[in-house]
Amino acid sequence: MVQLLDLQNKAKEYNGRCLSTKYITCETKYLWECKKNHQWEATWSNVGYKNSTWCKICSIEESKTYFDLEMGKNIAKEKGGDCLKQTRGTESGNSGIYLWQCCKGHIWETSASNILVNKTWCKQCQKLTIEDCIEEANKRDGKCLDSVYINRRTKMNWECKNGHRFSLTMGNVRNSNRWCRECFVDKQKLDISEAHKIAKENNGECLSTNYVNLESPLKWRCEFGHEWEVALMGIRHWGNWCPHCKYKSEQATREIFEKLFNEKFPKVHLPFMERLELDGYCEKFNIAFEYQGIQHYEFNSFFHNSIQDFEKQKERDQRNKKLCLQNNIKLVEISCKYNYKNEEELIKYVRQSIEEQGEWIFIDV
């Protein structure tokens, strides 16, 4: 799970600082400062994950830096390559497009800023091989059991230093730093006192008296008397709590919509939604709602196997929005920050979110 320390470490990579003092979700805006003391707000999604961005002011300043073909040739020479010519753009700045050649003769086109600022080079030379897989395994005192590498998304067979065998993609291992799950679980040796402590923090109880491991189910009770079973991993690493309360929040949201519009809002799979589901939909007013859990806002190892999984979650959410827009459905997203425990706040937030979608005449709730 992402912590404030992750934000601070990412800022240090840019010789900057994260000035915020609390982490909430990856879609929350945080205050950042670059090495030149420029300050701005950006989400963790923008700064911390793939295609990350940093200080826009510095980026604009760097794009105006003088750059010409001779400078390109000098930079390429340091890498054993060549800058052949400028292909697009007449300005002598980083945004000009140049033709580059690496030491192996591969030729490609990209901007000077990609080479100078983003530190990119030949993508063909960066393609991984089975030797890279063996090297990744060696770093972890393990083995790569396959002899052929296909691509980052194809699962491969690995063995850890303790002899456990498992399957992961090279992307999982290299980019997401995943490895042996059995060893991970063994490292999380805890006892029943940890479960009781977490339950107390959530104003509830752990009703179990025996603890086996992180993945063995325990019995829990929330402050409202709901009882359920789930492994400690689900509570400790997930960050969620009572599933009945989660359902009750979605149901409470549905009831608010139904009272406001005096119409039913059932959960639906519409034909044009490409197997995506809407938590509630009213055909008469062509309006829908989604009650968004924590997995929609931040990377969480319980919901997502990798950062790529989280990116796919965001892509599905965007696809949902796009399909609703294409079919003239007004989609209202309700954050899990608002729940049935504080009905007044939930009603206020729902009304406000609906009003942002247009003018409506409501029935008083």
pLDDT, tens digit (0-9, with 9 covering 90-100), for 171-215: 888 766 788 888 876 665 678 988 998 888 888 999 999 888 777
Residues 136 and 220 in one domain: no
Residues 33 and 56 in one domain: yes
Spatial distance between the Cα atoms of 142 and 166, rounded to a whole number of angstroms: 11
Q: What is the mean pLDDT of residues 135-158?
A: 91
Residues 251 and 328 in one domain: yes
b/e map 162-192, b = 16+ CB within 10 Å: eeeebebbbbbbbebebbbeeeeeeeeeeee
Spatial distance between the Cα atoms of 150 and 129, rounded to a whole number of angstroms: 8
Q: 364 pLDDT exceeds 90?
A: no
Largest CA distance in the chain: 74
Is residue 197 assigned to a domain?
A: yes
Residues 151 and 225 in one domain: no
Q: 50 pLDDT exceeds 70?
A: no
pLDDT at residue 65, rounded to an integer: 63
Q: Which domain holds residue 89?
A: 66-116
Report which residue type is found at 20. S
**pTM, full prediction:** 0.40
Is residue 351 assigned to a domain?
A: yes
Residues 316 and 256 in one domain: yes
Residues 261 and 343 in one domain: yes
Is residue 161 assigned to a domain?
A: yes
Number of structural domains found in the chain = 5
Residues 262 and 340 in one domain: yes
Give 231-254 pLDDT, tens digit per residue. Answer: 887 676 555 677 777 778 888 999
Minimal CA–CA distance to 301: which of 126, 176, 182, 189? 176
Residues 248 and 351 in one domain: yes
For a pLDDT cut of 70, what percent of the chain falls above it? 84
pLDDT at residue 60, rounded to an integer: 63
Residues 249 and 350 in one domain: yes
Q: What is the mean pLDDT of residues 10-19?
A: 89
